[in-house]
Amino acid sequence: MKSQPTEQQIRDLLSKVPYPGFSRDIISFGVVRGITIDSEISIQLVVATNDTAVATQLRERVLQAMTSLGSDVPVKVQVDVQAPVQNASQGPVPIPGVRQIIAVASGKGGVGKSTVSVNLAVALAAQGLKVGLCDCDLYGPSVALMCGVSERPYADEEGRIIPPERHGIKIMSMGLLLDGDSPALLRGPMVTRYTQQFLRNVLWGDLDVLLLDLPPGTGDIQLTIVQTIPLAGAVIVTTPQEVALIDARKAASMFQKTNVPILGILENMACFIAPDGSIHEIFGSGGGEKEAVRLGVPFLGSLPLDPAIRIASDSGTPLVVSSPQSPTSEHFTKVATSLASLG
């Protein structure tokens, strides 16, 4: 009996299977959602299309590709067809009035990505730019709290959402729509619809920059955005430790495979400076810079593990606003200046 293939072997094989009508493969398209290997090999595909023939073609192409493994294990391919929010063949479509869109991303949660997003947005606005901040983390929204916004957005006569403004930026977040500690109970199709609604049904007006605070990982929300919105680029936030860098590499790989420029890596929580002036590298050191060198992208510098950032975020007043002259705020301003130069 021939040996059973590994999941990585199967993924490598499927990365050579093109999506019907496209030159891109089904792995980078995000079509493959699961692979299980037991008494049989089960491959789960999810596709958003109105063309029923696509599901048939996908199943046939995957089954044909699997024959090259020469395995005796039976193969089952399941295709979940969902109604598309937007025809994928249209490609990325600009948001009217928005000059450039920048994603702030991380592969792992808890690295301070939302804190970075909020302070970069405010720092950009301080330079005279018209800025919007969209909290795309539907399950764990925190931008509203960090910006001190609690009022619910309202809609105009055409049903477009009017985003509240605070600290010179326009803000949209699921945190403005939920009551108290109510969770966002959303499955795949609804996640995609909410993401598109936040981006396209919000009256952003004329903006120089729209920052997208992405959730951690490389799931439905990220794929929806990179496939339907023209991104000027992405900033990857990480901590120095290897656990965070592993996931940061996955996020960077997703952007590279979808032709989104990586504007740089920003290392957060690089060290803790004690009251006596001693420096404690709690999460290691140099990891973010080494990863930037490895990827060949700019290193945007390091931010300390600063209690002032936490206090400012919890109070609803970003550090760039409450303490604009602090070294950390000045670093946010420096990064914002480099991003502003893109346009």
Q: Is pLDDT above 80 for 180?
A: no
The Cα 88–Cα 56 span in angstroms is 18
Q: What's the helix, strand, coil split of the chain in %, to 5? A: 35, 20, 40
User: What is the average pLDDT across 258-285?
Assistant: 80
The three-point CA angle 170-176-181 to 5° equals 150
DSSP letter for 152, please.
P
pLDDT confidence bin for 20, thresholds 50/70/90: confident
* pLDDT score, position 88: 46
Question: Over the stretch 185-219, which tens digit does the pLDDT of each residue have?
Answer: 666 667 788 888 889 889 999 999 999 999 887 77
Is the pLDDT score of 314 beyond 70?
yes
In the prediction, which pLDDT does 181 show? 64
Which residue, chain included where needed, has tokens 């391919």? Answer: 77
On whether the CB atoms of residues 294 and 314 are closer than 8 A, the answer is: no
Q: Tens digits of per-residue pLDDT, 29-58?
A: 678 888 888 888 999 888 776 667 888 889
pLDDT tens profile 66-95: 988 888 888 999 888 765 554 444 668 889
Residue with token string 């869109």: 101
Average pLDDT over residues 241-263: 84
pTM of the model: 0.71
The pLDDT, as a whole number, for residue 87 is 47
Please report the domains of the chain, with CATH numbers, ordered by start residue. 7-83 (3.30.300.130), 90-340 (3.40.50.300)
Answer whether 101's CB lies under 8 Å from 231's CB: yes
| Sheet (strand 75-82) strand order | 32-37, 41-48, 75-82
Question: What is the model's pLDDT at position 188?
Answer: 62
Identify which of 83-92, 107-116, 118-127 has the greatest average pLDDT: 118-127
Counting residues of the chain whose pLDDT is more than 90, the rounded percentage is: 31
